[in-house]
Amino acid sequence: MSKLGTLGARLHHGEVGYDFVKNRKIWYGISILITITAIVGLAVRGLHMGIEFQGGAVFSTPKNMSVSVAQAEEYAEEASGHDAIVQKLGDGSLRIQVAGIDTKASDTIKEQLSEDLKVESEQINAELVGPSWGEQIANKAWQGLGIFLVLVVIYLAIAFEWRMAFAAFVALIHDITITVGVYALVGFEVTPGTVIGLLTILGYSLYDTVVVFDSLKEQTKDITKQTRWTYSEIANRSINSTLVRSINTTVVALLPVAGLLFIGGGVLGAGMLNDISLSLFVGLAAGAYSSIFIATPLVADLKERDPAMKALKKRVLAKRAQGKSAPEPEPVGSGGLGGGTQDAAPAVVGPRNQPASRSRGRGRPSGKRR
Amino acid sequence: MSWPPARRPGARRPEREYEKVAAPKKGRNAGAQSKPWRSLALILIAIVGLTAGMFASGQTTPRLGIDLAGGTSITLRAEPEAGQESAINKTNMDTAVSIMERRVNGLGVSEAEVQTQGDRNIIVNIPKGTNSKQAREQVGTTAKLYFRPVIAREAGGAAPTPEASSSPSAGSGKAEDTKEKDGKKDESSSPSPSATSQGRAVTDGLKADASPSPKASESKGSGDGDGGGKGDASDPQNSKLQAEYAALDCTKPDQRTTAGKGAKPDEATVACGQDSQGQWQKYLLGPAEVDGTDVDDAQAVYDTQAGTGWKVTLGFTDKGSKKFASITGKLAQQQSPQNEFAIVLDGNVVSNPYVTQSLSSNAEISGNFTQESAKNLANVLSYGALPLTFKEDSVTTVTAALGGEQLRAGLIAGAIGLALVVAYLLIYYRGLSFIAIASLLVSAALTYLIMSLLGPAIGFALNLPAVCGAIVAIGITADSFIVYFERVRDEIREGRSLRPSVERAWPRARRTILVSDFVSFLAAAVLFAVTVGKVQGFAFTLGLTTLLDVVVVFLFTKPLLTLMARRKFFASGHKWSGLDPKALGAKPPLRRTRRPAGPVETKEA
């Protein structure tokens, strides 16, 4: 079986495991750093808003134009009286952007261009956007974002608990900030397609987070009835046990997006496909990162402040101190939690716990010991 | 569209499922395992049914949006008049849509669609092959509704009108009988001092003539013209109008759209209109007496008292009622057809009721109305009173070539995405990927079928963002399988054999899938409800595919896996099955007894 499969097995048995929760400070630090960079980038460079957001026109010509970019630029500026940006796409077609013109004026510009470029005017694709349209799209997107966040936080608070809702919220903001920051820093053009991509990230990033939380919730169901693990340790194991799935999901999600990006960027040159997939690509990567490194450790952090969890931690530590005197192959809490605790546990529990207890979950054996 | 309501059942489901799973233990293996064939049969029937439906509807491919098929898409934004913010409401927007539909389809475009989007936008999609410029002009201008007195009226084309139902049919001969009176009246009621030649110049017919007529004669021109008839050759403009009227053939669509184009409200004009039998008639009309903006309110009501059926009641503003009283007072004394006034919308006569008495602020139009025709007329009338203007927010013209290319690119991107996912699944899950791929195919088939059917059903059009949504959804769909397969593998790692593993893994995987799909669906639903334009198309496909994902996982993937688990290839954990216990690192029983706690704990994972 592939390496990942073996890794899955080892993760499953706790043979390997990375202590995501313990090292959370590092991840928080990295994330804060990235976020600050993103915000600074946003503040300093700002977003390069596409024509759709400032109003103007985008004309694109048929394939294989013989006219050079510089010449087309000249034509366009002459025709419109505004600055024009001309790009030559992979298939030889020209993309001419003129900002700040009225939708009415664009008709004459189109006619003029078709004359200059010697293309029939019906052959020219035109996208004319009034200045308020982009604003409206953006406003609606913000509105949608707001409503969605509120609904999701409520849903997660009901289905899970408020800490998870909060952590998911933070992770989401984190993802969006990073994506927007990347756009500001690299200077990609922001179009409605970008907005679509950004909004999709919402769903996707949460989707990922929710799966980890789901596992976490299941594992911590009877947490107070045992004294072997603290909340953070169980949280860490949830991450590890869903790690293979997280990797798989991210890969599987990124593959079609990569296909889009390849076709959108490589073949079409520019346009909706490219815009959507680019922001998706950035956002998905950030989303996978945040659900593992940010959201879950954050939940653990919050949860450890809960008095019940504090008490649990005390009990667990006391138990372990006690257990140290007993023959234990490995000291607990030394770095790799997965390996450490899981090996430690059987030593304490001993072979009395028969598979019969399997179906009853964790509660039972630990109950016995108390 | 029908799926914001569908969100509610979806919202409840994950929680309910969760309850079931949270306190499980008993009956875990029941239900799901019992009848795998039944579920498979169900989904097969669904596919066959949908396919049959698709062929029955005659639409075997999803309807393509403008950006894929080529054409022009115009987004208009309603702007209320100052202080009338509340004017943007559903009724007004619907009225505006129906008016625009009239106009666009007046161009002879059969498939143009006009629909509201969001709360204040109207989208007009005009497929390729139409003169987009002309279409834009039609849509972009504000609708003009006028009440003009009828000077002459006759059947519009080769086919003679058998009978005009709401008013007695009359030829042009009659119009000449009463020319004197009519002429005077018009002169007095509407002096037209403006530079009419400007307005006229737009009319195609007049361009050739290039009449240098002085204004003085023109101002009277309209009045004279009414009565002047063919004999009055001294006024070139007037005779021009007469000639135009004579030449007008309303049975020809192109003539219909150009007739009376650019006519000023205070001038006489020609126009076309259909009578209640659907016959085209042509009209020679006097200057507008009442404006559409003078109409305060118009409603279709059923006359229960007189029992005469449907009628349209009209209310006028103060200014409007004065004008209306004056015109009806005059018209009432005329003979047919000059006792009629024409309700002219965008140069088309939508109705020509005759007047029997002087009317003031409230009027009613009765006749052989059906509920529909009465409502239509009321709509038209109230449109004039709409305190809305429409501004072009965006206009996208896509040539058929680019549209085809974008469609192809989208399809290729989808194919590449799908191929990559399949390849990855094959490498990682081996034999198990057969189930995943089959599920993906079923999902794809269902998506295609439903998209095709939604075209005729709710006017769904597949545009580029929607294609993107579908491609992105491949990931979400595949993820459901991954969640489930990983659970099954975890169970196998516990040392279980395959069949119990499949059943034990299901309740947990199910919950995870439902919860995460719900979140994804919520995102799509919110986006769909709130946003406008392209974002909406994307959200729609994303929501649709998320729903289908749940259906496919429940009705196809799970039963198929149950069945496959019975096959020796999978059950024995063949090396290539993807479920080889050894490769998965299952703990041999011996070791398990030695260190049971580890697996016991992770079992809950």
Give the largest CA-CA distance in chain A: 92
Report the C-alpha gap between B141 and B262 in whole angstroms: 11
Domain extent for A63: 56-129
Report the residue from A124, A155, A241 with minimal CB separation from B522.
A155
Report the C-alpha gap between B184 and B223 in whole angstroms: 7
Q: Where in chain B is the domain with CATH 3.30.70.3400?
A: 71-136
DSSP structure class, residue B65: P
Report the C-alpha gap between B192 and B145 in whole angstroms: 18
**Nearest Cα residue in chain A from B401:** A62
Q: Which two tokens stand for residue A195?
A: 């907005």
Helix (H, G, I), strand (E, B) or coil at B342: strand
Comparison of pLDDT for B111 and B295, the residue scoring more = B295
Same domain, A122 and A269: no
Report the C-alpha gap between A216 and A208 in whole angstroms: 13
Report the residue from A148, A196, A237 with minimal CB separation from B535.
A196
- Are the Cβ atoms of A192 and B519 closer than 8 angstroms? no
Residues in A touching B117 (Cβ below 8 Å): none
For the residues B463-474, what does the mean pLDDT come to?
81
Q: How many CA atoms lie within 13 A of B265 on its CB side?
A: 16
How many other CB atoms are found less than 10 A from the CB of residue B5? Answer: 8
The DSSP-derived string for A79-97 is HHSS-EEEEE-TTS-EEEE
Distance (Å) from the alpha carbon of A159 to chain B's nearest alpha carbon? 7
Distance (Å) from the alpha carbon of B24 to chain A's nearest alpha carbon? 10
Judged against a pLDDT cut of 50, whether residue B537 lies above it is answered with: yes
**Would residue A141 count as lying in a domain?**
yes
pLDDT at A282: 82
- Which helix (H) or strand (E) is B78 found in, with range? strand B71-80
Same domain, A158 and A70: no
**Nearest Cα residue in chain B from A347:** B595
Judged against a pLDDT cut of 80, whether residue B308 lies above it is answered with: no
- Are the Cβ atoms of B511 and A214 closer than 8 angstroms? yes
Residues in A touching B516 (Cβ below 8 Å): 207, 210-211, 214
Q: Is the peptide bond before B337 cis (omega within 30 degrees of 0)?
A: yes
**Would residue A291 count as lying in a domain?**
yes
**Lowest-confidence range among A55-64, A80-89, B217-226, B400-409?**
B217-226
- Are the Cβ atoms of A125 and B398 closer than 8 angstroms? yes
| Summary mean pLDDT of chain B | 69
Same domain, A157 and A294: yes
Q: Which of B414, B407, B544 is nearest to B472 (CA)?
A: B414
Residues in A touching B508 (Cβ below 8 Å): 218
Judged against a pLDDT cut of 80, whether residue B24 lies above it is answered with: no
Q: Which of A136, A133, A111, A137 is nearest to A124 (CA)?
A: A111
Residue whose tokens read 């179009």: A191
Same domain, A237 and A110: no
Query: How many inter-chain contacts (A to B, CB under 8 Å) are there?
Result: 328
Share of chain B above pLDDT 70, in %: 63
Total count of residues recorded for chain B: 605
Interface test with A, best of B16, B601, B602, B603 (most A CBs within 10 A): B601
Residues in A touching B67 (Cβ below 8 Å): 272
> Under 8 Å CB-to-CB from B514, ≥6 apart: which residues?
B13, B14, B17, B18, B550
Q: Which two tokens stand for residue B556?
A: 């196809």
Q: What distances in angstroms separate CA A59 from CA A84, A123, A127, A167, B452, one per listed residue?
A: 11, 10, 6, 45, 31
Q: What is the ipTM of this complex?
A: 0.73
Beta-bridge partners for B124: B74, B114
- Are the Cβ atoms of A280 and B515 closer than 8 angstroms? no
Q: Which CATH superfamily is domain B35-65+399-575 in?
A: Multidrug efflux transporter AcrB transmembrane domain (1.20.1640.10)
Residues in B touching A238 (Cβ below 8 Å): 605
Comparison of pLDDT for A333 and B252, the residue scoring more = B252
How many other CB atoms are found less than 10 A from the CB of residue B589? Answer: 10
**Lowest-confidence range among A180-184, B229-233, B307-311, B379-383?**
B229-233
Same domain, A44 and A86: no
- Are the Cβ atoms of B584 and A5 closer than 8 angstroms? yes
Helix (H, G, I), strand (E, B) or coil at B396: strand
Residues in B touching A136 (Cβ below 8 Å): 77, 121, 393, 532
pLDDT at A153: 86
**Would residue A364 count as lying in a domain?**
no
Q: Are B130 and B71 in contact (CB under 8 A)?
A: yes
**Would residue A172 count as lying in a domain?**
yes
What's the pLDDT band for B116 if we cut at 50, 70, 90?
Answer: confident
Q: Which of A242, A225, A55, A263 is nearest to B416 (CA)?
A: A263
- Are the Cβ atoms of A241 and B490 closer than 8 angstroms? yes
Comparison of pLDDT for B357 and B474, the residue scoring more = B474
pLDDT at A342: 40
What's the pLDDT band for B415 if we cut at 50, 70, 90?
Answer: confident
Rounded mean pLDDT for each run of 10 residues along chain A, 370 residues in total: 58 66 82 88 82 77 74 77 74 75 72 76 76 74 83 86 86 86 82 77 76 81 75 79 79 81 65 76 82 82 80 79 59 39 40 42 42
Distance (Å) from the alpha carbon of B88 to chain A's nearest alpha carbon? 16
Judged against a pLDDT cut of 70, whether residue B201 lies above it is answered with: no
Residues in B touching A129 (Cβ below 8 Å): 393-395
What's the pLDDT band for B292 if we cut at 50, 70, 90?
Answer: confident
- Are the Cβ atoms of A267 and B14 closer than 8 angstroms? no
Q: Which residues of B380-394 are buried (b: 16+ CB within 10 A; e: fewer)?
A: bbbbbbbbbebebbb
Q: Which two tokens stand for residue A33?
A: 């750093």
**Nearest Cα residue in chain B from A107:** B133
**Would residue A101 count as lying in a domain?**
yes
Same domain, A249 and A267: yes
Same domain, A248 and A171: yes
Report the C-alpha gap between B581 and B485 in whole angstroms: 13
**Nearest Cα residue in chain B from A137:** B532
pLDDT at A72: 78
**Lowest-confidence range among A25-39, B25-39, B269-283?**
B25-39
pLDDT at B28: 43
What's the pLDDT band for B366 if we cut at 50, 70, 90?
Answer: confident
Q: Which of A155, A280, A292 is nearest to B519 (CA)?
A: A155
Report the residue from B136, B416, B522 with minimal CB separation from A263.
B416
Interface test with A, best of B16, B68, B390, B394 (most A CBs within 10 A): B394
Distance (Å) from the alpha carbon of B292 to chain A's nearest alpha carbon? 26
**Nearest Cα residue in chain B from A346:** B597
Domain B71-136 of CATH type 3.40.50.300: no
pLDDT at A108: 76
Q: Residues B135-162: pLDDT tens digits?
A: 666 665 555 677 788 887 777 654 443 3
pLDDT at B218: 34
Distance (Å) from the alpha carbon of B137 to chain A's nearest alpha carbon? 10
List alpha helices for B162-283, DSSP H: 172-177, 179-189, 196-201, 204-209, 215-228, 236-247, 253-258
Among A259, A281, A304, the domain boundary falls at A304
- Are the Cβ atoms of B486 and A254 closer than 8 angstroms? no
What's the pLDDT band for B491 if we cut at 50, 70, 90?
Answer: confident
Report the residue from A129, A219, A252 with minimal CB separation from B475.
A252
Q: Are A200 and B538 in contact (CB under 8 A)?
A: yes
Q: Which two tokens stand for residue B421?
A: 């996912």
- Are the Cβ atoms of B515 and A202 closer than 8 angstroms? no
Distance (Å) from the alpha carbon of B413 to chain A's nearest alpha carbon? 5
Q: Which of B300, B319, B320 is nearest to B311 (CA)?
A: B300
Q: What distances in angstroms separate CA B358 from CA B322, B325, B361, one per listed residue?
A: 11, 6, 10
Q: Which of B494, B491, B503, B605 is nearest to A362 (CA)?
A: B605
Q: Are A332 and A313 in contact (CB under 8 A)?
A: no
Same domain, A275 and A187: yes
Same domain, A144 and A116: no
Q: What is the CATH number of the domain that holds A78?
A: 3.30.70
Q: Which two tokens stand for residue B386?
A: 């709409």
Q: Where in chain B is the domain with CATH 1.20.1640.10?
A: 35-65+399-575
Relative to beta strand A48-49, strand A189-190 is parallel
Report the residue from A123, A129, A237 with minimal CB separation from B605.
A237
Same domain, A81 and A29: no
Number of compact structural domains in chain A:
2
Q: Which of A240, A241, A338, A236 is nearest to B487 (CA)?
A: A241
For the residues B463-469, what does the mean pLDDT come to?
81
> Under 8 Å CB-to-CB from B441, ≥6 apart: which residues?
none
**Would residue A327 count as lying in a domain?**
no
Q: Which two tokens stand for residue A165?
A: 């809702």
Report the C-alpha gap between B588 and B496 in whole angstroms: 10
Residues in A touching B483 (Cβ below 8 Å): 211, 245
Report the C-alpha gap between B5 and B525 in whole angstroms: 10
Same domain, A232 and A300: yes
Q: What is the CATH number of the domain that holds A258?
A: 1.20.1640.10
pLDDT at A141: 77
Among A289, A304, A319, the domain boundary falls at A304
Report the C-alpha gap between B605 and B592 in whole angstroms: 17
- Are the Cβ atoms of B508 and A268 closer than 8 angstroms? no
Residues in B touching A267 (Cβ below 8 Å): 409, 412
Interface test with B, best of A198, A248, A332 (most B CBs within 10 A): A248
pLDDT at B131: 62
Report the residue from A132, A144, A257 with minimal CB separation from B527.
A144
Q: What distances in angstroms separate CA B471 from CA A148, A257, B416, B519, one per listed residue?
A: 22, 8, 10, 18
pLDDT at A271: 66
Q: How many CA atoms lie within 13 A of B311 on its CB side?
A: 16
Q: What distances in angstroms separate CA B484 from CA B350, B488, B502, one per listed residue?
A: 63, 6, 9
Q: Which of A155, A185, A167, A205 is nearest to A302 (CA)?
A: A167
Report the residue from B15, B512, B534 with minimal CB separation from A192.
B534
**Would residue A250 count as lying in a domain?**
yes
pLDDT at B584: 67
Q: What are phi and psi of A362, to 5 degrees?
A: -75, -30
> Under 8 Å CB-to-CB from B585, ≥6 apart: which residues?
A6, A8, A9, A10, A12, A13, B493
